[in-house]
A and B are shown apart, each in its own frame.
Chain A
């Protein structure tokens, strides 16, 4: 079945479209809203977005495959994104990435079988003073070490 927006999301989509002189300019905000509702932008969601913005599905696909925060497949409930850029690497991110791989038993880019965690390594998150740092969904965690990672993950239901 093709997806449909909830009334609430639909309202937000329409509002955000009104911010721009051209409908298609709302593509990124609409993709964010769509992903928040459906967890991913696969072919079906692409068609939905294209329909709302009056553009071709391929135009949506072009953006989806360009922007790393837009996912074609659904992520786990908690998406762990560990920074691998310079300040974090200098402060030990490499060891922490290995630790998370072992702990979750997945590689970056993968999701645990129970769909609870996805792991990614990402470029600079703009929180270098807290290196090494990571994001879980949209929450930042800094000054990480193995113990702190254990705590953070234990607290996630």
Chain B
């Protein structure tokens, strides 16, 4: 069943404005949270089993718990609104339709951890959304949900918007930090993790927009309610971004664990013009591809991993029979060779070599060993880079060349 919890304000007239948000119960969670002991908030978020919605799926409560309590340095919060994973557009919907939901989540997390300065790192292309978010922030300041002594609680918080400038890698959390500090978005070696040493060398919480937007309801309705919405170890609902060759592309909020098949055929209306399904990418471009007989799978982190793919950002891309798989492979390879930041040799060189081989397949008959060469290069990127981009490129390329080998061999000498 489609569940409108996170998306309940979508489609409501002027839902982006604070008066409408307040009318519909907005900022009640902040009022409640500011009366609570911060440790109790942390407990609640932990018990909710809210897993990061950006892609990695790390439990949000555990991440918060890593932030040291007694430090002299300031602490920071960064909302990751970079939304660069191809196929993903849910955060755009949240920020367009319900920017105050994000702000409310940011206030609660900041209060919980003792943060007084927060940034929204938003991708540069979302210029209009950044402007709207700016307005939402000033509405929140006017009503004293932000600024000094919020609602007479003694708690202060400032939120600033920081626009990116077109680099996928800045969605990776340490690349984001570097970028926020005014540098190239080169990911950092971990550990230390940002919770201990992050922005400006200070403890930092980094959460995806959708993750933060879940916080208000966890506080208002409680962890148990949230867990009941989804699965015991993966609570809540998710906003699935569905695109490609379906009748009704768009965002669908469904409980964590909803079947991929249902998302495609029930919510998104099945394939366009009665076309036949060839393959599905279930979790953003980085996720290994699934064949039609593999899509009867619950959409949660653990099930997708068992199925040999990943839930990632829950972005479903549907490919029909008529599309050459070589085109899919080329798009994936073009993307990663373009977006590799160049810091780690296996990723920089591996992606560009794979890309050259694939483009050669378009121009001339490939060599017999080309596919194996692609597999070898991709395998040599896996696990050998500072950040997950190496894996993110290797995994879909490996799954495509292995699962669709027969079709791809038609481009090479036999």
Question: Residues on A close to B: CB < 8 A?
Answer: 19-22, 24-29, 31-32, 53, 55, 59, 62-63, 66-70, 84-87, 89-91, 122-131, 135, 138-139
Smallest Cβ-Cβ distance to B186: which chain A residue: A66
Q: A69-B124, A85-B331, A89-B327 are in contact. Are A129 and B181 (CB under 8 A)?
A: no
Q: Please tell me if B378 contacts chain A, counting CB pairs below 8 Å.
A: no
- B317 neighbours in A (Cβ, 8 Å): 86-87, 90, 128
- B124 neighbours in A (Cβ, 8 Å): 32, 67, 69
Scan residues 319-345 of chain B and give those whose CB is less than 8 A from a CB of chain A. Answer: 319-320, 323, 327-328, 331-332, 334-335, 338-339, 341
CA distance A90 to B318 in the complex (A): 9
- A138 neighbours in B (Cβ, 8 Å): 125, 127-128
Q: A90-B319, A129-B243 are in contact. Are A67 and B166 (CB under 8 A)?
A: yes
Q: Please tell me if B311 contacts chain A, counting CB pairs below 8 Å.
A: no
Partner of B167, one of A21, A24, A68, A89: A68
CA distance A23 to B199 in the complex (A): 14
Q: A63-B182, A131-B243 are in contact. Are A84 and B125 (CB under 8 A)?
A: no
CA distance A32 to B332 in the complex (A): 29
- B242 neighbours in A (Cβ, 8 Å): 129
Q: Do the beta carbons of B166 and A86 come within 8 Å of each other? A: no
Q: Do the beta carbons of B338 and A123 come within 8 Å of each other? A: yes
Q: Do the beta carbons of A63 and B184 come within 8 Å of each other? A: yes
Instruction: Give the 10 A-B CB pairs with smallest separation, nearest first.
Output: A27-B182, A67-B165, A128-B243, A124-B86, A68-B166, A69-B166, A87-B243, A138-B127, A129-B249, A69-B165
Q: Do the beta carbons of A128 and B183 come within 8 Å of each other? A: no
- B390 neighbours in A (Cβ, 8 Å): none
Partner of B245, one of A26, A32, A62, A90: A90
Q: Do the beta carbons of A91 and B245 come within 8 Å of each other? A: yes
Q: Do the beta carbons of B179 and A28 come within 8 Å of each other? A: yes
Q: Please tell me if B388 contacts chain A, counting CB pairs below 8 Å.
A: no
CA distance A139 to B127 in the complex (A): 9
Q: Do the beta carbons of A126 and B123 come within 8 Å of each other? A: yes
Q: How far is the CB of B158 from chain A (nearest CB, A)?
A: 8
CA distance A78 to B318 in the complex (A): 32
Q: Please tell me if B168 contacts chain A, counting CB pairs below 8 Å.
A: yes
Number of residues from B at the complex interface, CB < 8 A: 58
Q: List 6 A-B contacts (CB under 8 A).
A: A63-B184, A67-B167, A69-B165, A87-B249, A128-B315, A138-B125
Partner of A28, one of B74, B182, B339: B182
Q: Please tell me if B174 contacts chain A, counting CB pairs below 8 Å.
A: no
B119-139 interface mask toward A, CB cutoff 8 Å, 1 = contact, 0 = none? 000011111100000000000
Query: Which stretch (B22-30, B46-54, B87-95) binds chain A?
Result: B87-95
Q: How far is the CB of A36 from chain B (nearest CB, A)?
A: 10
CA distance A132 to B74 in the complex (A): 44
Q: Do the beta carbons of A62 and B87 come within 8 Å of each other? A: no
Q: Do the beta carbons of A128 and B89 come within 8 Å of each other? A: yes
Partner of A84, one of B315, B323, B331: B331
Partner of A32, one of B87, B128, B163, B320: B163
Q: Do the beta carbons of B83 and A126 come within 8 Å of each other? A: yes
Q: Please tell me if B258 contacts chain A, counting CB pairs below 8 Å.
A: no
CA distance A138 to B179 in the complex (A): 21
Q: Please tell me if B371 contacts chain A, counting CB pairs below 8 Å.
A: no
Q: A63-B182, A123-B335, A126-B125 are in contact. Are A86 and B249 (CB under 8 A)?
A: no
Q: A66-B185, A128-B317, A129-B243 are in contact. Are A25 and B88 (CB under 8 A)?
A: no
Q: Do the beta carbons of B163 and A126 come within 8 Å of each other? A: no
- A25 neighbours in B (Cβ, 8 Å): 180-182, 200
- A127 neighbours in B (Cβ, 8 Å): 89, 92
Q: Please tell me if B66 contacts chain A, counting CB pairs below 8 Å.
A: no
